[in-house]
Protein backbone atom coordinates (compact mmCIF):
# COMPACT_ATOMS: atom_id res chain seq x y z
CA UNK A 1 0.00 0.00 0.00
CA UNK A 2 1.33 3.41 -0.99
CA UNK A 3 0.12 5.98 1.49
CA UNK A 4 -0.74 9.22 -0.27
CA UNK A 5 -1.39 11.30 2.83
CA UNK A 6 -1.13 10.88 6.55
CA UNK A 7 -2.59 13.68 8.66
CA UNK A 8 -2.93 14.14 12.39
CA UNK A 9 -5.03 16.63 14.30
CA UNK A 10 -4.00 16.66 17.94
CA UNK A 11 -5.23 18.62 20.92
CA UNK A 12 -4.38 18.91 24.58
CA UNK A 13 -5.90 21.06 27.30
CA UNK A 14 -4.90 22.30 30.72
CA UNK A 15 -6.17 24.69 33.36
CA UNK A 16 -4.33 27.88 34.19
CA UNK A 17 -2.75 27.45 37.62
CA UNK A 18 -3.60 30.96 38.84
CA UNK A 19 -7.17 30.97 37.55
CA UNK A 20 -9.18 27.76 37.15
CA UNK A 21 -11.70 29.61 34.99
CA UNK A 22 -9.10 29.76 32.23
CA UNK A 23 -8.46 26.80 29.97
CA UNK A 24 -5.58 26.61 27.52
CA UNK A 25 -6.01 24.36 24.49
CA UNK A 26 -3.25 23.55 22.05
CA UNK A 27 -4.14 22.26 18.61
CA UNK A 28 -1.81 20.89 15.99
CA UNK A 29 -2.18 19.77 12.41
CA UNK A 30 0.68 17.66 11.10
CA UNK A 31 1.01 16.11 7.66
CA UNK A 32 3.72 15.81 5.03
CA UNK A 33 3.36 19.47 3.97
CA UNK A 34 2.01 21.23 7.04
CA UNK A 35 2.71 21.59 10.71
CA UNK A 36 0.54 24.29 12.26
CA UNK A 37 0.28 24.84 15.99
CA UNK A 38 -2.02 27.14 17.91
CA UNK A 39 -2.68 27.72 21.60
CA UNK A 40 -5.89 29.46 22.60
CA UNK A 41 -7.00 30.64 26.04
CA UNK A 42 -10.69 30.27 26.92
CA UNK A 43 -12.82 31.51 29.76
CA UNK A 44 -14.42 28.37 31.19
CA UNK A 45 -17.45 30.08 32.74
CA UNK A 46 -18.26 32.34 29.78
CA UNK A 47 -17.28 29.65 27.25
CA UNK A 48 -15.46 32.03 24.93
CA UNK A 49 -12.01 32.80 23.54
CA UNK A 50 -10.17 35.39 25.61
CA UNK A 51 -6.67 35.30 24.13
CA UNK A 52 -4.58 33.82 21.34
CA UNK A 53 -1.39 32.64 23.02
CA UNK A 54 0.45 31.37 19.98
CA UNK A 55 -0.09 30.55 16.32
CA UNK A 56 2.79 29.16 14.36
CA UNK A 57 3.45 27.61 10.97
CA UNK A 58 6.26 25.22 11.80
CA UNK A 59 6.14 23.75 8.31
CA UNK A 60 4.18 24.92 5.28
CA UNK A 61 4.35 24.50 1.51
CA UNK A 62 5.09 28.20 0.96
CA UNK A 63 7.13 30.63 3.01
CA UNK A 64 4.36 33.24 2.85
CA UNK A 65 1.67 30.96 4.41
CA UNK A 66 2.35 32.41 7.84
CA UNK A 67 1.85 36.00 6.58
CA UNK A 68 -1.79 35.74 7.64
CA UNK A 69 -1.16 34.42 11.15
CA UNK A 70 -2.84 37.44 12.76
CA UNK A 71 -6.25 36.59 11.25
CA UNK A 72 -6.73 34.21 14.15
CA UNK A 73 -7.35 37.30 16.30
CA UNK A 74 -10.76 37.46 14.60
CA UNK A 75 -11.96 34.74 16.96
CA UNK A 76 -11.15 36.61 20.19
CA UNK A 77 -14.47 36.86 22.02
CA UNK A 78 -16.04 34.04 20.00
CA UNK A 79 -18.33 31.88 22.13
CA UNK A 80 -18.27 28.10 21.96
CA UNK A 81 -21.81 27.56 20.71
CA UNK A 82 -23.80 26.64 17.62
CA UNK A 83 -22.49 28.58 14.64
CA UNK A 84 -18.89 28.82 15.88
CA UNK A 85 -17.58 26.32 13.30
CA UNK A 86 -19.19 28.25 10.44
CA UNK A 87 -17.74 31.50 11.81
CA UNK A 88 -14.26 29.96 12.06
CA UNK A 89 -14.34 28.54 8.54
CA UNK A 90 -15.63 31.82 7.09
CA UNK A 91 -13.23 34.09 8.97
CA UNK A 92 -10.07 31.97 9.00
CA UNK A 93 -10.43 30.09 5.71
CA UNK A 94 -11.00 31.34 2.19
CA UNK A 95 -8.83 33.44 -0.09
CA UNK A 96 -7.51 35.65 2.70
CA UNK A 97 -7.00 32.84 5.20
CA UNK A 98 -5.84 29.27 5.64
CA UNK A 99 -8.24 26.33 5.70
CA UNK A 100 -5.61 24.35 7.60
CA UNK A 101 -5.55 26.93 10.38
CA UNK A 102 -9.36 26.82 10.42
CA UNK A 103 -9.16 23.01 10.84
CA UNK A 104 -6.87 23.41 13.84
CA UNK A 105 -9.13 25.99 15.47
CA UNK A 106 -12.29 23.92 14.88
CA UNK A 107 -10.54 20.98 16.54
CA UNK A 108 -9.59 23.21 19.48
CA UNK A 109 -13.24 24.25 19.87
CA UNK A 110 -14.32 20.59 19.86
CA UNK A 111 -11.74 19.89 22.53
CA UNK A 112 -13.05 22.78 24.65
CA UNK A 113 -16.53 21.27 24.60
CA UNK A 114 -15.18 17.93 25.85
CA UNK A 115 -13.02 19.57 28.51
CA UNK A 116 -15.97 21.51 29.93
CA UNK A 117 -18.00 18.32 30.23
CA UNK A 118 -15.12 16.45 31.80
CA UNK A 119 -14.69 19.20 34.41
CA UNK A 120 -18.42 19.17 35.16
CA UNK A 121 -18.37 15.36 35.50
CA UNK A 122 -15.53 15.55 38.01
CA UNK A 123 -17.66 17.78 40.23
CA UNK A 124 -20.22 14.98 40.67
CA UNK A 125 -19.72 12.46 43.44
CA UNK A 126 -20.98 9.24 41.87
CA UNK A 127 -20.78 7.40 38.58
CA UNK A 128 -24.60 7.28 38.45
CA UNK A 129 -24.77 11.08 38.65
CA UNK A 130 -22.17 11.35 35.88
CA UNK A 131 -24.13 8.94 33.64
CA UNK A 132 -27.38 10.86 34.18
CA UNK A 133 -25.72 14.19 33.48
CA UNK A 134 -23.94 12.85 30.41
CA UNK A 135 -27.13 11.42 28.95
CA UNK A 136 -29.00 14.66 29.59
CA UNK A 137 -26.27 16.75 27.92
CA UNK A 138 -25.63 14.39 24.99
CA UNK A 139 -29.19 13.17 24.41
CA UNK A 140 -29.80 12.53 20.71
CA UNK A 141 -26.38 13.91 19.76
CA UNK A 142 -25.33 10.49 18.42
CA UNK A 143 -26.54 6.90 18.13
CA UNK A 144 -25.27 5.84 21.59
CA UNK A 145 -27.20 8.66 23.28
CA UNK A 146 -30.57 8.19 21.58
CA UNK A 147 -33.59 7.44 23.73
CA UNK A 148 -33.45 3.75 22.72
CA UNK A 149 -30.38 3.40 24.96
CA UNK A 150 -31.54 5.67 27.76
CA UNK A 151 -32.03 2.84 30.26
CA UNK A 152 -28.61 1.37 29.52
CA UNK A 153 -26.94 4.76 29.92
CA UNK A 154 -28.64 5.40 33.25
CA UNK A 155 -28.09 2.00 34.89
- The pLDDT tens digits for 33-82 are 999 999 999 999 999 999 999 999 999 999 999 999 999 999 999 999 99
Q: Which domains does the chain have, with CATH numbers?
A: 8-123 (3.30.390)
Q: Does residue 120 register a pLDDT over 60?
A: yes
Nearest residue to 38 via CA among 106, 104, 113, 107: 104
CA dihedral of 64, 111, 88, 101, whole degrees rounded to 10:
10
> pTM for the full model?
0.87
Amino acid sequence: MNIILSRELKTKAWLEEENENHIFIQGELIDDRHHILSVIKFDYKEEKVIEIIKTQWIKSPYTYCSDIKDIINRIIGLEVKTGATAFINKNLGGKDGCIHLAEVVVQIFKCFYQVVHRIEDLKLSSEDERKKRKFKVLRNSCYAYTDRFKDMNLD
